[in-house]
Amino acid sequence: MITDVNVNLSRWPFRRLPGDEPLALATKLGKMKVTQAWAGSFDGIFHKDLAGVNARLAADCRQFGAGLLLPFGSVNPKLPDWREDLRRCVEDHKMSGIRLHPNYHGYTLDNPEFHELLQLAAARKLVVQLALCMEDERTQHPLMPVPPVDIGPLANAVARERQLKLVILNSYPQLPLERLRALSSAGQVYFDLSMVEQVRGVARPGEYASPDRVLFGSNYPVFVFESALRKMQEAELTETQRAAILEGHARRLLAR
């Protein structure tokens, strides 16, 4: 059984992707024995009407993946009504977490509104997912290059919010291990494996974080789902370690 903490609904604007229709995505995940998928929305990256984005996300998760797709709403602290967007995620849509895209939304991690957002999310016991990028820079449209998020200020922000549950998505291999070590020791910080590339790369988070901080995430449908599974197969894990990464760690994080 698998809990995938990193899937997306709707359309990626630069190319069509297999699985970019909600029914096709849910069907694919079911075939891959995914029992729960934490789903964000591509629209949440590019649209300004995040209230509409999150309402559609919640509705699609109910219609096409009830019990399978768990919606994670988008919040952009640069927008004037972001606190209301956060409230709607919790109170109207009963979401367990939110997903942030600082590089696409145009703010850095030393932004005061970002720090307030972390504080409010921690108070509401939400899981906060922070995507460092969405795809390899080499595949980006030449008129829209988006550099990865600079995580330099993040460790200090996390240290101030001891109740914060933070999941780093798409942690690209070029990140210096020193920064990742500082971040992992600052608080309850977890990492998905979607952008692990090297042989036996699933073990790489063990170089800067406890093994129980590693979560299975595919970044589907931007990436091929089977790629994430193959990373697990070649990682030379014990059955206990494999089960924990595929499902156990995420379930415990959500239960808290």
Q: Which residues, at least 6 apart from 85, have a Cβ–Cβ distance to it below 8 Å?
A: 50, 51, 54, 73, 74, 75, 76, 79
pLDDT at residue 182, rounded to an integer? 87
Contact status, residue 239 vs residue 25, Cβ threshold 8 Å: no
Q: Place 202 in a pLDDT band, splitting at 50, 70 and 90.
A: low
Residue 107, domain extent: 2-255
pLDDT of 201 strictly over 80? no
Distance CA 105, CA 82 (A): 12
Number of folded domains in the chain? 1
14-29 pLDDT tens trace: 999 999 999 999 999 9
The model's confidence at residue 173, banded by pLDDT at 50, 70 and 90, is confident
User: Does residue 200 have a pLDDT over 90?
Assistant: no
Indicate the pTM of the whole model.
0.94
Residues 82-95 have pLDDT tens digits of 999 999 999 999 99
The model's pLDDT over 100-138, given as tens digits with 9 standing for 90+, comes to 999 999 999 999 999 999 999 999 999 999 999 999 888
Domain with residue 211: its CATH number is 3.20.20.140
Q: Is pLDDT at 203 greater than 60 in this prediction?
A: no
Go through 35-61 and write b for each residue having 16 or more CB atoms within 10 A of its CB, e for each that does not. ebbbbbbbbbbbbeebbebbbbbbebb
Quick: pLDDT tens for 55-67.
999 999 999 988 9
